[in-house]
């Protein structure tokens, strides 16, 4: 399924910063990448990139727990090392954790050894502290290449992108985020949010509106792995 809503994503400003790069409309090996999972009733997956953040991640987790919904957090390895207690809280709360590289690197511009290091060190940052083996990989910015696909396959990772981009990293107004999601969300969608954003974040306010409204519309919230498994794409 093609990505919907706002145009191509540009990466958020993090503790680790790299030049913004757009998402290719024709990423290589599309069959190897999960953007959404068609025909899975009204199930959708909330995903959060770039954390953990010292305050925002906990605020988002609180909103999710208050509403009784789950989500998948794609962790930047360096941030996981800086805030290990928050990663532990995420894992203990039952949220799914994914790999978002160690330094939020643009993997499309990296050579193969560098891609491998970013994936391996991102995984190690979580494993060594929590013995949690990440199995989902989201390349920062959705930047893909044949080498990224190869490295992911060799490590038994599932590459995950998204189908609805909220552009919360760009401080998009809350009402615009809400409208974008409600106008575009369908069963099987993967929604892209961020739990690490420079400055004030519109994400908590948007979630407080969106989650109850999506529930009223009959959507169920699942992790990315649950979404993939229910669609028959699981391994």
pLDDT in tens, 84-140: 999 999 999 999 999 999 999 999 999 999 999 999 999 999 998 888 999 999 999
Return the closest-CA partner of residue 225 out of 120, 5, 73. Answer: 73
- Per-residue pLDDT tens digits for 57-75: 999 999 999 999 999 999 9
Per domain, the residue ranges of the chain are 28-230
DSSP 110: S
Can you give the pTM of this predicted structure? Answer: 0.87
Instruction: Kindly list the catalytic residues.
Output: 49, 194
Homologous superfamily in CATH for domain 28-230: Glycoside hydrolase/deacetylase (3.20.20.370)
pLDDT at res. 30: 65
């Amino acid at each position: 399924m093609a990505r919907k809503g706002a145009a191509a994503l540009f990466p958020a400003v993090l503790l680790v910063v790299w030049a913004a790069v757009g998402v290719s409309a024709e990423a290589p090996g599309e069959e190897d990448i999960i953007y959404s999972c068609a025909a899975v009733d009204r199930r959708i997956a909330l995903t959060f990139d770039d954390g953990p953040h010292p305050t925002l991640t906990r605020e988002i987790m609180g909103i999710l727990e208050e509403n009784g919904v789950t989500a998948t957090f794609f962790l930047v390895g360096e941030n996981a090392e800086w805030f290990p207690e928050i990663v532990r809280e995420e894992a203990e709360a039952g949220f799914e954790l994914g790999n978002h590289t160690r330094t939020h690197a643009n993997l499309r511009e990296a050579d193969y050894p560098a891609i491998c290091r970013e994936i391996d060190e991102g995984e190690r940052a979580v494993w060594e502290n929590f013995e949690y083996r990440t199995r989902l990989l989201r390349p920062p910015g959705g930047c893909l290449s044949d080498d990224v696909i190869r490295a992911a396959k060799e490590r038994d990772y599932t590459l995950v992108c998204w189908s609805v981009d909220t552009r919360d990293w760009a401080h998009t107004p809350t009402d615009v985020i809400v409208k974008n999601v409600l106008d575009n969300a369908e069963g099987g969608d993967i929604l892209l949010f961020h739990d690490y954003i420079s400055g004030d974040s519109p994400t908590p306010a948007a979630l407080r509106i969106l989650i109850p409204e999506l529930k009223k519309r009959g959507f169920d919230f699942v992790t990315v792995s649950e979404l993939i498994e229910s669609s028959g794409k699981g391994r």
